[in-house]
Amino acid sequence: MRVTVEFVGLPELRKTIGSKSLKVSLERGTMGDLLSQLERMYGAPVRNSLLDSKGNIHETIQVIRNGREWLARDNPMAELRDGDRITFLLMVAGG
């Protein structure tokens, strides 16, 4: 299965990857599998940018599937489908 992954508001990851998006091949198709594969591919920048100290997606990151469906940060078993576009979006607050 292949998914496209995009990073919005995560400059360290974009710098590491050299692009704002990439295609990732997965043997199994869950959010946890995707995070594990990204961490294997890019190491510390993924851990530091996306994950909290417990290995969960950080509370400041939102995950969006195909531009319209918000995925729960605390559900590593969320199923992904071949061709999905997963966007990791840094939420910024302020006034």
- Residue 95: other Cβ atoms inside 10 A: 2
Residue 15 in domain: yes
What are the start-end ranges of the H helices in 5-78?
A: 11-17, 31-42, 44-50
Q: How many domains does the chain have?
A: 1
CATH number, position 42: 3.10.20.30
Residue 19 in domain: yes
Residue 59 in domain: yes
Residue 81 in domain: yes
Q: Quote the pTM value.
A: 0.91
Residue 95 in domain: no
Q: How confident is the model over 27-58, as pLDDT tens digits?
A: 889 999 999 999 999 998 888 899 998 888 99
* Full residue range of the structural domain in which residue 24 is found: 2-90
Q: How confident is the model over 59-88, as pLDDT tens digits?
A: 999 999 999 999 998 899 999 999 999 999
Residue 37 in domain: yes
